[in-house]
Structure 1
Amino acid sequence: MSSNIEHFNSAVASLLGELYQNFPTKITLAAGDFPMPPQGSLNQDEQLYHAEMQQWFDLVNLYNHTAYFLLEEGYIRGEVRPPYTPVHECCLTSKGLAALQRMPSSLKAKNRNIGDFFVEVGKDSLKDGVKEILKSAVTSLLSGH
């Protein structure tokens, strides 16, 4: 099972990768558009089904709050319409674009900046082989190094 921080890192990569790929076009960010762990069959026992639905709801909530965090920290701009919903008319700020154009040491061998890496990993950001590089890239992005 992945930790909250791993899901946060995945959400940052997914959200910012999508915005980087679409820059400067404004888009709507919706949690359902981003990677979620595979769900079991709907034909399983009811208790397991409800546990998976709760896990899915928690991840949707985490993706929404990650988007709000990026808004509050000035990496993205957009409009949130109550009740808490996707971010509408969303676009990278100059701060967000500059951060995504950095090339930390963990990505130099791949000759990719953070934005290109986020676009590349996209929906695979929860895979084990990507988690450490993703953690390093998100840390670099948010710390300004």
Structure 2
Amino acid sequence: MATNIERFDNLVGRLFGELYEAFPIPRNLFCTDMQKHIEAAGLNEIDDFNPCADEARFFTASVRWLGNAGLIEHGDVVAGTAHDCVLTAKGLEILKATPACLEGALGDRLVQAAKHDADEELRQLTGQALSYGISLALHKF
């Protein structure tokens, strides 16, 4: 079973890929589209009225964290749906970066990894993107 950090990196990599591919057009993001990639640990039985309740909590918390970190902007985030999501300038700068160890921008690589369900690569690329974002923030102070 994946850890919360692994689930977070997998989910965020997919969200980054969607938003990078759609930029600058805001997108509505849905837990139901990401449900199979979240694998919430607390899910014991399916709720007919809310089949991804645990995943929705994880999804919602992840989207809000990305917003609080200044990587995306979003409208309302409720019941497993995040409205009007778009990369910020900082988020776009991070995803356009091309680390020396990679061929192509992080965003392009995330899009391809998500399309091929390459979970391990998604987690690694997401980690690189978040680390690069921290590095950028530290160098600006």
Pick the TM interval, shorter chain: 0.7 to 0.9
Q: Which 4+ residue blocks in structure 1 deviate beyond 3 angstroms?
A: 52-57
Q: Cα–Cα, structure 1 residues 72 and 139, in superposed 2: closer, same or farther, change >3 Å?
A: closer
- Name the counterpart of 2:44: 51
- Is 1:120 aligned to residue 115 of structure 2? no
The answer for the alignment partner of 1:61 in structure 2 is 57
Alignment RMSD? 2.9
Q: Which residue of 2 aligns with 1:43?
A: none
Q: Residue type matched to 2:65 in 1?
A: F
Q: Residue in 2 aligned with 1:73? A: 69
Q: Which runs of no fewer than 5 residues in structure 1 stay unpaired? A: 40-49
Q: Scaled by the length of structure 1, what TM-score is found?
A: 0.73
User: Alpha carbons of 1:58 and 1:138: their partners in 2 closer, same or farther (altered >3 Å)?
Assistant: farther
Deviates more, 1:133-142 or 1:94-103: 133-142
Query: Which blocks of at least 5 consecutive residues in structure 2 are unaligned?
Result: 137-141
The structure with higher relative contact order (CA 8 Å, sep 6+) is 1
Q: Match for 1:20: what amino acid?
A: Y
Alpha-carbon shift at residue 132 of structure 1 (Å):
5.9
* Distance in 1 of aligned mates of 2:123 and 2:10: 11
Q: How many residues are treated as equivalent by the alignment?
A: 129
> 1:140–1:113: structure 2 CA closer, same or farther, 3 Å change rule?
farther
Aligned pairs for 1:1-145 (under 5 A) are 1-34=1-34, 36-37=36-37, 51=44, 53=46, 56-80=52-76, 83-106=78-101, 108=102, 111-122=103-114, 124-126=117-119, 128=120, 130=121, 133-134=124-125, 136-144=127-135
How many angstroms does 1:11 deviate by?
A: 1.1
Question: TM-score, normalized by length of structure 2?
Answer: 0.74
Instruction: Give the AA of the match of 2:3.
Output: S
Q: Which amino acid aligns with 2:66?
A: L
Q: Percent identity?
A: 28
